[in-house]
Amino acid sequence: HTNKRWWKNEVIYQVYPRSFQDSNGDGIGDINGITSRLDYLQSLGITTIWLSPVYKSPMFDMGYDIADYQKIDPIFGTMKDLDNLIVKAKQHGMKILMDLVVNHTSDQCPWFQEALKDPKSKYRNYYIFKHTDNGKAPNNWRSAFGGSTWSKVPNEPGTYYFHNFAPKQPDLNWENPELRQAIYKIINWWLDKGIAGFRLDAIMQLKKDQDFASLPADDVDGLVNGEKKDLNRPGIEKFLSELKQSTFAKYNALTIGEAYGVPAKDMPRYIGPDGYFSMIFNFDIMNPDIPDVNRWYIKNKWSTADWAKTIFDSQHAVQKAHAYFTNIIENHDQPRAVSKFIQNPKDRTPESAKALAAVYFLLPGVPLIFEGQELGMKNFKRHSISEFNDLSSINNYHMAIKNGYTKEQALQFVNERSRDNGRVPMQWDGSKYGGFSDHKPWLEMGNDREGINVKDEEKDPNSVLNFYRRLVRYRQNDRVRKLFIDGSIEQIKGLSKDIIAYTRTLDGKTIKVIVNFSNHTIKLDQPIKGKIELNSNPKNEDLSQLMPFQAVVVE
Ligand code: TEU
Ligand code: CA
């Protein structure tokens, strides 16, 4: 790539491979399934596809527990299938981003198996082992999926290994230079295959405070959110810089950090023109409803105005750093956007799905669509905890009960926040298995497929899908694309507490994005002036008022 920040022009789509398209009738999505749907992604205007992990894995955390970084898990296909996908995607004008999970491996990874087998093995130093004399865990940090970050090493009394996530996901020891070199080698091997880059999983957690000191407990389990001691800690920048120089920089690869906890003042170093990553996701706007992303029973009260403030504050911070967000409203760890950001269940309609699309898609930076988001898919309500697959959901259910909530309340929290919500198979049509498979899918289909599926939405010019298509086509037009990527952003204030509105400006040209984020018609004191370029509700073109959830883009 001659242009250093070539990736600014991309529109990215996240595929959750298990749930996108099954090609061989086993009820599990796979790589050949993705290849068979490239025409669809092209019709949406996508230029880069990010694949959640397809590496060999026992799938305890659905592939985020990798047993072999250089093999494809047989449920997803073969390395040949992946090479074919890379080639076919290119023919469709699309690049492939892989998921890089190097904070931890699976406990089935040969490195960890060797480390367990022999305390003298060099692989012991690939992970974090500690011995205590009192038999208790080395500290009181809580792992992301509940319980201690420490698990006992079998047959070695008093010896523990560290895991930020599940016990079956031991953390790698980034303090060890040999481990780091081993990781870089794997990354370069992938980049040599011709992929465009990586999404970097849990990347801010590579550095742990080496004192491994306990902190005051913050919940009834006597533990404390471990992130206080292992998220964006001093010393991490040395790792990130070396990682970039040893790998991504040589290929001018696109990297998107899954980076919680980068403060505004650090952004120039992380994602400025010579930053460690190309971009980071904007998680600031993802969780208005909860203060701790791993404890769903603790709730925030929030309003449209609060959420809007987060959007504009975060965008100003990133612009000040001459940096870019990858803008998202969904991913595979999140509920469906319509079910989370639209607080009144009655308002969770195609109209509000389009309003959400308009709010985030035209922000500075690079937009990303998570599979099914473009259809307006919603959360799928489950009636018993046994219906959930996601380990984080099961942990949250039990934590809520420990905190004194009833089973019904606990189930409600989990339904609202479960990561399974985003993992329900893609709804290609209204048939029994949604066109996803001809076999019972690994996770139950949503029960609102009627109308919310690709086949039906393609026929309806006002569907959520066709609105996304228009949004992508409009934003990618040479006439305005640069403005949407690089233009400044200012909130338009004072229209109504229920309106989210902003201007985008570049070289004297200004475009307004105005969205009624409520279920009632809003009359405006001053009609909006200008030419309507996009309108989520073409029945109303009178810009002295906005219909419920109407979104307009005006030049
Ligand atoms: O997520 C990291 C992360 O921040 C999650 O722990 C997040 O807090 C949680 O999913 C919210 O419920 C990444 C992946 O996106 C996630 O799917 C993995 O489970 C996790 O890393 C471990 O690899
Ligand atoms: Ca399959």
Residues 91 and 151 in one domain: no
Ligand 1 atom at minimal distance to the Cα of residue 103: 23
Buried b (16+ CB within 10 A) or exposed e, 436-466: bbeeebbbebbebbeebbbebbeeeeebbbb
Q: Which of 22, 201, 289, 390 is catalytic?
A: 201
Residues 131 and 231 in one domain: no
- Report if residue 541 sits inside a domain: yes
DSSP string, 55-111: EE---TTTTSS-SEEEEE-TTT--HHHHHHHHHHHHHTT-EEEEEE--SB--TTSHH
CA nearest ligand 1 atom 22, residue: 64
Q: Is the CB of 333 under 6 A from ligand 1?
A: yes
- Report if residue 352 sits inside a domain: yes
The complex scores an ipTM of: 0.95
Give the domain-ending residue among 406, 440, 469. Answer: 469
Residues 24 and 143 in one domain: no
Give φ, ψ of 334 to 5 degrees. Answer: -125, 155
Q: Is the CB of 256 under 6 A from ligand 1?
A: no
Give φ, ψ of 242 to 5 degrees. Answer: -65, -40
Contact 168, 58 (CB under 8 A): yes
Show the beta-strand stretches assigned E in 329-481: 366-370
Residue of 18, 51, 64, 145 to mutate, ligand 1, most atoms within 8 A of C-beta: 64
- CA of 441 from ligand 2 middle (Å) equals 9
Instruction: Give CA–CA dist 197/190, Å, rounded.
Output: 9
Q: State residue 261's pLDDT score.
A: 84
- Report if residue 392 sits inside a domain: no
Contact 450, 430 (CB under 8 A): yes
Q: Could you give the 3-state DSSP secondary structure of residue 35?
A: helix
- Report if residue 403 sits inside a domain: no
Q: Is the CB of 201 under 6 A from ligand 1?
A: yes
Residues 461 and 515 in one domain: no
Q: State residue 177's pLDDT score.
A: 98
Residues 243 and 330 in one domain: yes
- CA of 21 from ligand 2 middle (Å) equals 8
Contact 146, 399 (CB under 8 A): yes
Domain count, the chain: 3
- Report if residue 167 sits inside a domain: no
Bridge partners of residue 512, in order along the sequence: 503, 554
Residues 435 and 534 in one domain: no
Residues 325 and 424 in one domain: yes
Q: Which two tokens stand for residue 186?
A: 């794997």
Ligand 1 atom at minimal distance to the Cα of residue 419: 12
- CATH number (domain holding residue 536): 2.60.40.1180
Residue of 287, 333, 413, 423 to mutate, ligand 1, most atoms within 8 A of C-beta: 333
- Report if residue 398 sits inside a domain: no
Catalytic site residue 258? yes
Q: For residue 307, what is the enclosing H or E element?
A: helix 304-320
- Report if residue 23 sits inside a domain: yes
Residue of 201, 283, 368 to mutate, ligand 1, most atoms within 8 A of C-beta: 201
CA nearest ligand 1 atom 18, residue: 64
Residues 118 and 145 in one domain: yes
Residues 299 and 226 in one domain: yes
Catalytic site residue 330? no
Residues 38 and 95 in one domain: yes
Query: What are the pLDDT tens digits along the chain (555 aa)?
Result: 668 999 999 999 999 999 999 999 999 999 999 999 999 999 999 999 999 999 999 999 999 999 999 999 999 999 999 999 999 999 999 999 999 999 999 999 999 999 999 999 999 999 999 999 998 999 999 999 999 999 999 999 999 999 999 999 999 999 999 999 999 999 999 999 999 999 999 999 999 999 999 999 999 999 999 888 999 999 999 999 999 999 999 999 999 999 998 999 999 999 999 999 999 999 999 999 999 999 999 999 999 999 999 999 999 999 999 999 999 999 999 999 999 999 999 999 999 999 999 999 999 999 999 999 999 999 999 999 999 999 999 999 999 999 999 999 999 999 999 999 999 999 999 999 999 999 999 999 998 888 999 999 999 999 999 999 999 999 999 999 999 999 999 999 999 999 999 999 999 999 999 999 999 999 999 999 999 999 999 999 999 999 999 999 999
Q: State residue 448's pLDDT score.
A: 86
Q: State residue 277's pLDDT score.
A: 98
Residues 136 and 23 in one domain: no
- Report if residue 406 sits inside a domain: no
| Residue found by looking up tokens 């081993």 in the block | 182
- CATH number (domain holding residue 199): 3.20.20.80
| Residue found by looking up tokens 């010393």 in the block | 235
- CA of 297 from ligand 1 middle (Å) equals 17
- CA of 170 from ligand 1 middle (Å) equals 14
Q: State residue 226's pLDDT score.
A: 85
Residues 120 and 16 in one domain: no
Q: State residue 452's pLDDT score.
A: 97
User: Which residues form the domain of 124?
Assistant: 110-162
Q: State residue 1's pLDDT score.
A: 64
Ligand nearest to the CA of 257: 1
Give the domain-ending residue among 434, 469, 504. Answer: 469
Q: Is the CB of 202 under 6 A from ligand 1?
A: yes
- CATH number (domain holding residue 123): 3.90.400.10
